[in-house]
């Protein structure tokens, strides 16, 4: 599970080493997915609280 957290995926992307369990393109997609999830969750919470 740790390989799919943003810190680890970002490290795999920046290092671009051959020891990563997935290629750098997959790593950046994982980081983007976490970013989108955090943004949408924050937006939902703020709209619900302030709306």
Report residue 34's pLDDT band, with 50, 70 and 90 as the boundaries: very high
3-state secondary structure the chain: CHHHCHHHHHHHHHHCCCCCCCCHHHHHHHHHHHHHHHHHHHHHHHHHHHC
Prediction pTM value: 0.83
What integer pLDDT is reported at residue 18 of this predicted model? 81
Quick: pLDDT tens for 1-27.
898 999 999 999 999 878 889 999 999
């Amino acid at each position: 599970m740790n390989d799919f957290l943003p810190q680890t995926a970002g490290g795999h992307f920046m290092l671009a080493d051959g020891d990563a369990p997935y290629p750098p393109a997959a790593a950046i997609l994982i980081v983007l997915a976490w970013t989108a999830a955090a943004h949408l969750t924050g937006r939902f919470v703020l709209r619900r609280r302030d709306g």
